[in-house]
Amino acid sequence: MTTKELDKLLNDSLIAYSSEIRSCYKEGGKEPVNEGDIVELARQTFYTMDEFRKNIIKYLESK
């Protein structure tokens, strides 16, 4: 895997994260955040970080 390929994978993960968060939460919404919102945000953040970890390990193993 090249650095450029890794960059694309990481960028794709960020785009997916952004899309998922935007589908859950209206930008500029006036509703207060609740426990479920925080749990969902934490879950999506974990998924993205795990995807980053897997792709970085794959990149390092290919070197």
User: Is the pLDDT score of 37 beyond 90?
Assistant: yes
> Which pLDDT band, with edges at 50, 70 and 90, does 27 fall under?
confident
Domain that residue 55 falls in? 3-61
User: Is the pLDDT score of 30 beyond 90?
Assistant: no
Q: Is 31 exposed, middle or buried (0-12, 13-18, 19+ CB in 10 A)?
A: exposed
pTM, entire model: 0.85
What pLDDT score was predicted for residue 36? 95
> Which pLDDT band, with edges at 50, 70 and 90, does 48 fall under?
very high
Query: What is the number of domains present in the chain?
Result: 1
The whole-chain average pLDDT of the chain stands at: 95
